[in-house]
Amino acid sequence: MTTFHILSMSLHALRVVVPTMMMIFFAGTSELKTFLESIPTTIIHGLNIAGGIIVVVGYAMVINMMYTAHLIPFLYLGFIVAAFSNFNLIAIGSIGIIMSMIYVQLNPKYAIQELRKENSHKNLIDKKNSSEEDELD
């Protein structure tokens, strides 16, 4: 299966590399500039709009995939922090990671699971200790 993936990605790379290299070797920058300037402005404007729509559709798909009612406030909070601060994406991502760690630690659902783990470990240790005491008696 891995060989198939490598082969398909190689073919995809060739699909992009071959035309690009042909343009680089057989046409100079002046020809490319002339070609790009010959494209009507309405088409360029339409492509710019389509590029903006693709971004919006991408955001909508991400929100649709991660939509969980109890997590939506964090999504809105992230957008608000991004809009009203001068933080870069790394800073906002770091804040998000820290907030998620705090959320997991404070959420009772996760605390109950952790207590169950601790109790099961204690029960195993107690059983082991009691069996050792029985053997000594």
Q: What is the pLDDT at residue 26?
A: 83
Angle, to 10 degrees, between the axis of helix 108-136 and the axis of helix 89-106?
A: 50
CA distance 137 to 131: 10
Q: What is the pLDDT of residues 21-46, one digit of tens each?
A: 888 888 878 888 888 899 999 999 99
Radius of gyration of the chain (CA): 29
Q: What is the pLDDT at residue 47?
A: 93
Q: What is the pLDDT at residue 41?
A: 93
Q: Alpha carbon of 98 to those of 19, 25, 112: distances in Å?
A: 46, 50, 21
pLDDT under 70 in the chain at which residues?
1, 111, 113-137
Q: What is the pLDDT at residue 129?
A: 59
CA distance 96 to 99: 5
Q: What does pTM read for this prediction?
A: 0.41
